[in-house]
Amino acid sequence: MDAISVIRTKRDRGELSPEQIDWVIDAYTRGEVADEQMSALAMAILLNGMNRTEIARWTAAMIASGERMSFGTLTRPTTDKHSTGGVGDKITLPLAPLVAACGAAVPQLSGRGLGHTGGTLDKLESIPGWRALLSNAEMLDVLDTTGAVICAAGDGLAPADKKLYALRDVTGTVEAIPLIASSIMSKKIAEGTGALVLDVKVGSGAFMKTIEDARELASTMVALGTDSGVRTVALLTDMSTPLGLTAGNALEVRESVEVLAGGGPKDVVELTLALAREMLDAAGLKDADPEKALADGSAMDVWRRMISAQGGDPDAALPVAREQHVITAPSSGVLTRLDAYDVGVAAWRLGAGRARKEDPVQAGAGVELHAKPGDIVTEGQPLLTLHTDTPEKFAYALQALPGSYDIAPGGTPFAATPVVRERIA
């Protein structure tokens, strides 16, 4: 086997053999296949796709590159959630402690930002002292004592995916459906959770722009999970508009705490509860009431214990960007569109994301929304506030925003897109 022949097979629209897939994943993990060679293969997969047999084998090879975990010692049923990534998608932060407060154990292995989408670990690292990297023993201890843990996948869990995940972020291959499906499901199957709910985003701010692509990805992942003995269901959710009123790391943590305190934006609360009900149902806890757990403070209690258990201070002040720039409404009327992708790119350019896999992120950078589609705005009122520590980034971020929103005359009919569009099981 050699990398060039594998690349040529997929470049020429051929089907990779099981032997080719096993070899290239193993060789890349060991460093025998270089980053530039895997980049070429990833681009060929993006352009030419993979069939179901190839995707299943690729996923199995990713799992085989490392260890498999087990939560058999826990007394609670395990259930997990994964989002394919969006703008302002802070749902994991309130969701994990909420589901734990209802009686399940939530082993939430999360990732960092990919392209214009935010990363859960990047958000949580804006909390002073919080640690993303835990050993398997530490992860199990936090899970056992608090009911929920949000952390990075350990080095032993699908190490091939850890390398490829970072590479996809900086080579324009994030959107490849086979690579998204195998990346997500290799970690989740190796993680050992009993049930999995997938939040597959669809819209301008998602990697899946059309409902057809979102269905294809969701169906592929549901099949991979089900075939591996993991009860798996997917919700297709809207990502044409940013979720909530913030896109950025510390900004989104602040908003998540508002949700746990019984407030927060309506769309964030609605999706958090919808996913919580699916997770609890999949775990066999159909009678649990997540809405009550939000209202009575028990979800907040789990959040505080979970953050503390990972070294964070839940009472510490969150970072605030040193500089702000306000964009005002150019006219009065109804805000009918606010493009999620454009907002995500602006947040990324302000420092909330990374252009290279080794780049740091700014904890306080991002975009704050002062109105959502359907709201009445008046000329001159704040529409967006840009946050960054480096004001020279404002000009670059602003280039992403012209044409990112529409304001129609007052009285224009407006029909909101549902937050949850479809369910696939």
CATH number where 392 lies: 3.90.1170.30
Over range 232-257, report the average pLDDT: 98
User: 72 versus 324: which is more confidently predicted?
Assistant: 324
- 359: containing domain: 323-408
pLDDT on residue 117:
86
Query: What is the percent of the chain with per-residue pLDDT over 90, rounded to a whole number?
Result: 84
Q: Which of 126-135, 165-174, 365-374 has the lowest mean pLDDT?
A: 165-174
Tell me if 132 is assigned to some domain.
yes
Rounded CA-CA distance 274/91 in Å is 11
* Confidence band, pLDDT 50/70/90 cuts, at residue 401: very high
Spatial strand order of the sheet with 79-83 comes to 79-83, 195-202, 231-238, 420-424
Domain identity same for 36 and 160: no
Residue where one domain finishes, among candidates 309, 336, 368: 309
Domain identity same for 164 and 223: yes
Rounded CA-CA distance 206/86 in Å is 5
Domain identity same for 262 and 288: yes
Tell me if 193 is assigned to some domain.
yes
Give me the sign of the Cα torsion angle 27, 120, 110, 144. positive
Distance set, CA 131 to CA 125, 194, 306 (Å): 7, 25, 11
Q: Which residues are catalytic?
A: 82, 161, 168, 183, 187
pTM, entire model: 0.89
Domain identity same for 246 and 329: no
Domain identity same for 343 and 236: no
pLDDT on residue 369:
98
pLDDT on residue 58:
97
Tell me if 236 is assigned to some domain.
yes
Tell me if 67 is assigned to some domain.
no
Six-digit token string for 262: 């019984």
Q: Which of 382, 374, 367 is nearest to 335 (CA)?
A: 374
Q: Which of 100, 52, 58 is nearest to 78 (CA)?
A: 100
pLDDT on residue 156:
84
The domain total for the chain is: 3
CATH number at residue 107: 3.40.1030.10
pLDDT on residue 285:
97
Domain identity same for 303 and 393: no
Burial 337-349 (b: 16+ CB within 10 A, else e): ebbbbbbbbbbbb
Q: What is the pLDDT of residues 186-211, one digit of tens each?
A: 989 998 899 999 999 999 999 899 99
**How large is the C-alpha radius of gyration of the chain?**
21
Over range 314-339, report the average pLDDT: 97
Tell me if 171 is assigned to some domain.
yes
Over range 220-227, report the average pLDDT: 92
CB-CB contact of 405 with 346 (8 Å): no
pLDDT on residue 154:
78
Q: Which of 384, 393, 406, 338 is nearest to 362 (CA)?
A: 393
Domain identity same for 242 and 96: yes
Over range 98-126, report the average pLDDT: 92
Mean pLDDT of the chain: 94
Q: What is the pLDDT of residues 137-183, one digit of tens each?
A: 999 999 999 999 999 987 788 899 889 988 987 898 988 999 989 99
Over range 273-284, report the average pLDDT: 97
Residues 6+ away with beta carbon under 8 Å from 71: 78, 105, 107, 140, 143, 192, 193, 194
CATH number at residue 37: 1.20.970.10
Q: CA 169, 172, 178: angle at the middle one, nearest 5?
A: 80
pLDDT on residue 240:
97
pLDDT at 313 over 90: yes
Over range 26-33, report the average pLDDT: 96
pLDDT at 357 over 70: no
pLDDT at 115 over 80: no
